[in-house]
């Protein structure tokens, strides 16, 4: 999500267009209030682990990763 925001920020404010004068508001949804990205995060985690030769099942993901803050990850 941060990478997406950074990419959009650079595009709008890098001088590659007059976008900055057209922006009237920025909307952030970092906690799933408007869009629930939990399933997408799980799918991305599965794909990343598969690319590295690993795997994770849904139960393990839900118990150990989903909703857990970074300092408490095992």
Predicted confidence at residue 37, as pLDDT, reads 78
Query: Based on the domain organization, do 45 and 57 belong to the same domain?
Result: yes
Q: How many CB atoms lie within 10 A of CB 65?
A: 14
Q: What is the spatial distance between Cα 68 and Cα 10, in angstroms, rounded to a whole number? A: 30
Predicted confidence at residue 36, as pLDDT, reads 73
Query: Based on the domain organization, do 44 and 72 belong to the same domain?
Result: yes
Query: Based on the domain organization, do 67 and 42 belong to the same domain?
Result: yes
DSSP string, 2-50: HHHHHHHHHHHHSSSSS-TTT-------SSSSS---HHHHHHHHHHHHH
Query: Based on the domain organization, do 30 and 48 belong to the same domain?
Result: no
Query: Based on the domain organization, do 70 and 56 belong to the same domain?
Result: yes
Q: How many domains are there within the chain?
A: 2
Is the full-model pTM beyond 0.85? Answer: no
- Per-position pLDDT tens, the chain of length 74: 456 666 666 666 665 556 666 667 767 666 667 777 788 888 999 999 999 999 999 999 988 887 776 676 56
């Amino acid at each position: 999500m941060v990478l997406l925001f950074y990419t959009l920020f650079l595009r709008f404010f890098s001088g590659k267009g007059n976008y900055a004068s057209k922006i009237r508001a920025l909307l952030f949804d970092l906690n799933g209030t408007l869009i629930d990205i939990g399933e997408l995060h799980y799918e991305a985690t599965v794909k990343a682990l598969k690319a590295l030769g690993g795997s994770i099942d849904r139960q393990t993901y839900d118990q150990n990763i989903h909703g857990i803050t970074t300092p408490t990850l095992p």
